[in-house]
Structure 1
């Protein structure tokens, strides 16, 4: 019987000389705007993807031109906190070194640029590094950007959680110097490849991407169940951090029609004290490194490893790697997965203003001046920006005497003042077309317009005040966490979506497919009927997602193996 063949990426990583590959040669090749095929996989470990504009792909092909190759770069910003000097540099770089002169906030509490030409990659990365920002391991088969709850009410606990997100991110960074050599002109050390070590990752790194979030109950704005590893902060009697419940095996991605792929909810392994946090973070990642599927990348995420091993075996392997055992998990409860908009005062008397950004897009165009607004505020603000996991931004730590000035600027440039529906405020969409190669349908460019039509229905049925979590992605890979939405749309083809219903608005239950491969007319018709029933039959305080489960429109799903894609 022949030995099972590893996925192609496994050989690529081993032969890459610790993520260097032939990237230097690809960058020097001026004949094409692309990089070599193998290097397109390695660039992800450096924080960027090669893309092309699909809106003009066919036209360029007719002209016998190669696709308009550009790159998307994602920054590594644990906890999503950005200083004002950093923001002004981010803004300048978008204008000078990208085609779109825009910034996109992602659902992983960071930002990304689109439309970067190959020749501008190095200047862009150097520009970020000058203000202490990087894109190391923002993509690829490694631990990616670590998220942390942005809510400032419990300010000391939130600060502790943010600090831990930074420590975890730094602790789990790859140790190869490839990034510094290729992009920052660090002098190369001429040693054989086998003498350079990755003490945690090894030559093959992880089987797939690895995502971490740190949450402060009752707020689940980081959607812990969409992460391979999560730390749930437990507060002591003095309002300080007692430690974390550690959970593993959450994730969103699936493949249409393949029942052995599915989204999954995270499973709690136990409680750890603060001083054991890094040990357990590394131990969970090592358990995935050693046991994750390296043959089928569609089943290589930690959620499948936990399911295949079983929670008890996964916990035992983690404890062995850590050299210590978990304590019993502590009680906690989540009540919301959304952002808190408007002004909020913390216990220190500082103010925090969260504003909605449609699809996380920071741009100036005929309908908005978001980029200018955030730039002008950054010139005078003495606090920081906090990017949220729901693609919005918090103008954080505003001193009381500066509140009026910040609000004035926010209103002047349209960040405040526009009336938006609760459904719009609770929406997420991925980038999708025209730049994402995986997109099957529109998302960012379409969801806001669809919600405007759905808002007509909620007004019609007297439920316009309901906060219904609504999300859309152009494919089932789940970047916008659609399977944790009360109403989820997942692209199936041009203008066609699978409609999912039944999550709980707290991020602790999966939704389920309600209708497959339908267009806008049928989407609106189905929701019209459901909204009419909901308006008449709902119980006091009952969310829409809970209602559709109660009436049997879809079943409640708490295990991804019962999810039907």
Structure 2
């Protein structure tokens, strides 16, 4: 079921096919001290090991004037299914970030894990060995593979969460690459004289990146419609009994290319728990075999579904898994934000969710966030949970330890009482200065943009309200702006496309309202629209619903067909 078999394969297919199961010449390249970067195919291959080569774009021009190469370094993304990490692991990553990265920070991401930024070539192997020592790795967190598996964070039904989290781990392990390349290169693993076999991913791996989630209604905190494969937990009498399976979501697009678009996932139906891994494998292998390997812009699962038809794809999954989907069980999403402050689980333990703006854990003047997290880790007896909204949960706190944990959080600026509803419902990708794809600011722009948005809400008598607001520095979707009520997509320095009309539950894609406009023009437009919202909205009507009902923008009903209409 290939796209056009006669078409020439993309060069990434050559790279994967000639890589000796992702080894390439990375081990030899590490010894090359003439450059701080990776050569040839290795630039791409290190992604399968969880790293991207980057440089500091703020100083790129100055280094060029000095006839120096860019300050090459890598960003590493850890594999952390469900986002759970223990205090020992936290202290290890805290120490490495402080001692061996250019920026000294820990960055919590929208993929429910952490990233190191600015690790120079001589420190890379040390970084992987540190992770391995504490039971972590970065296998398959980038590249054409199934990436870090997300799971709803800290719901009230914690027994169901534990069961769902266990499945997130099982799915992650089942879909991992089987090659020993990671162990051989980074951990000095013994080279085994045997042929590598990739029974699920195949010798050329997947046509494009693949993202999987496990979500527990009523929270849609993992944004299911941003992902290729989603397992929606269905519980009965407080126990997980199966999943509704949603396939084919994705948010990335390319400016100026109408063959690319964001797309919501389709609901294939319900499966009992015992079929979970078989269905996961069947979806992945169908995409492996049917996905477009000629045009990477159309290689994601969403485009395969559009090309072959949803029912055809679904029937193939059923055939490969040896099952038939039952009718989907009823569920409802009522929100997707994190629940801040203390929440008590059914086991009597307490969980403290902390708002971390942009997910950037670093010591700031008057707010030593990184030091505070380390101080908590030294006394905490539970674990930490990273959320897909870039926040941090101190989980599993006994009643007698609550006061001490809260005191440390307040002393270090991790817990504040005056954070607005708008700020906690805003998010951005990293973007400049480290992301090579960034066209405009995102993380560095967000705090000031939110302040302006807060002022507009206050001006129109809506200070207690909020708008799901997201900024991404390019159209690749890392900040999930294509599921926001107001989404900004970077177009150039200080310029964005303004998208409106998503909903609060993450089930509607916003439509472009204005193209390539400045930060000042964006706020002027929002000033007018928020004023109309304040005057004309129905009771409790959200901003995204208002702009649809009032005709400011048409709803995106079928993203493949009408996103650009």
| Pairwise same-fold verdict (TM > 0.5) | yes
SS at match of 1:397: strand
Aligned-pair distance for 1:367?
A: 5.0
Alpha-carbon distance in 1 for matches of 2:448, 2:50: 31
> Which residue in 2 is equivalent to 1:57?
60
Map of 1:541 onto structure 2: 540
1:159-178 mapped onto 2 (5 Å cutoff): 159-178=162-181
Q: Which residue of 2 aligns with 1:118?
A: 121
Q: 1:451 to 1:204 in 2, by over 3 A?
A: same
Deviation of the 1:554 alpha carbon: 0.9
Aligned to 2:106: 103
Question: Residues 408-467 of structure 1: CA distance to partner in whole angstroms, max 9, x if unpaired?
Answer: 111111111251221110111000000100000000001111110111110000112113
Q: State the SS of the aligned residue for 1:169.
A: helix
Pair 1:233 & 2:236 matched: no
SS in 1 for 2:455: helix
Q: How does 1:79-90 map to 2 (within 5 A)?
A: 79-90=82-93
Is 1:385 the counterpart of 2:387? The answer is no
- Residue number in structure 2 paired with 1:296: 295
Secondary structure class of the residue paired with 1:506: coil
Shift of 1:292: 0.6
Aligned with 1:354: secondary structure? strand
In 2, Cα distance between equivalents of 1:440 and 1:3: 34
Q: For the residues of structure 2 that align with 1:340 and 1:558, how far apart are their CA atoms?
A: 30
CA deviation digits over 1:317-373, x for unaligned, max 9?
111111221111111111111111111111222111111111000001335211011
Q: Which residue does 2:215 correspond to in 1?
A: 215
Question: What 5-or-longer segments of structure 2 have no aligned partner?
Answer: none
Distance 2:558 2:91 in 1: 44
Given the alignment of the two structures, is residue 42 of structure 1 paired with residue 41 of structure 2, yes or no? no
Contact 1:151 / 1:219 at 8 angstroms: preserved in 2? no
CA distance in 2, matches of 1:564, 1:428: 24
Q: More deviation in 284-293 or 555-564? A: 555-564
1:259-318 alpha-carbon deviations (Å, 9 max, x no partner)? 110011010111110111000011100110011110000110001111111110010011
Deviations 1:92-116 (A, max 9, x none): 1111221111110010100000000
Cα displacement (A) at 1:551: 0.5
Query: How far, CA to CA, are the matches of 1:556 and 1:160 in structure 2?
Result: 36
Contact 1:75 1:110 in 2 (8 A): yes
CA distance in 1 between partners of 2:243 and 2:146 (Å): 19
Deviation per CA, 1:193-229: give whole Å up to 9, x if none.
xx32111111110000000011011100000100000
Secondary structure of the residue aligned to 2:333 is: coil
Q: Which stretches in structure 1 are left out of the alignment for 5+ residues?
A: none
Q: What is the aligned partner in structure 1 of residue 242 from structure 2? A: 243
Separation in 2, partners of 1:178, 1:387: 28
Partner of 2:324: 325
Quick one: distance in 2 between partners of 1:174 and 1:280? 17
Contact persistence 1:34–1:69 (CA under 8 A): yes
Say whether residues 1:206 and 2:201 are aligned partners: no
TM-score (norm 1): 0.98
Counterpart of 1:28 in 2: which secondary structure? coil
Q: Write the distance in 2 (CA, Å) between the matches of 1:87 and 1:559.
A: 43
Query: In structure 1, what is the equivalent of residue 418 of structure 2?
Result: 419
1:507 lines up with 2:510 in the alignment: no
**Contact 2:79–2:148 (Cα < 8 Å) also in 1:** yes
Aligned to 2:187: 184
Aligned partners of 1:109 and 1:391 also within 8 Å: yes
Q: Deviations over 1:510-564 (max 9, x none)?
A: 0011111111211111011111111111111111100000011111113211213
Give the Cα–Cα distance (whole angstroms) in 2 for the partners of residues 107 and 24 of structure 1.
30
Q: Is contact 2:202–2:288 with CA below 8 Å preserved after alignment?
A: no
CA contact (8 A) 2:366 2:413 kept: no
In 1, Cα distance between the equivalents of 2:304 and 2:466? Answer: 35
The corresponding residue for 1:428 is 427
Write the distance in 2 (CA, Å) between the matches of 1:493 and 1:173.
Answer: 36
Corresponding residue to 1:8 among 11, 28, 49: 11
- Aligned counterparts of 2:416 and 2:14: Cα–Cα separation in 1: 54
SS in 1 for 2:438: coil
Deviation readout 1:118-147 (Å, 9 max, x if unpaired): 111000100011000000001010000000
Per the alignment, residue 281 of structure 2 pairs with 282
SS state at 1:161 partner: helix
Shift, 1:2, TM fit: 9.9
Stretch moving more, 367-376 or 528-537 = 367-376
Match of 1:197 in 2: 197
TM value normalised by structure 2: 0.98
CA distance in 2, matches of 1:484, 1:114: 26
Aligned partners of 1:167, 1:177: CA distance in 2, in Å?
Answer: 19
Q: Secondary structure at the match of 1:92?
A: helix
Aligned-residue CA RMSD (Å): 1.2
How many residues of Structure 1 are paired with residues of Structure 2 in the alignment? 561
For 1:521 and 1:480, locate their aligned partners in 2 and report how far apart those are by CA, in whole Å: 21
| C-alpha distance after superposition, 1:469-510 (max 9, x if no partner) | 110000000001100001111100000011111111101110
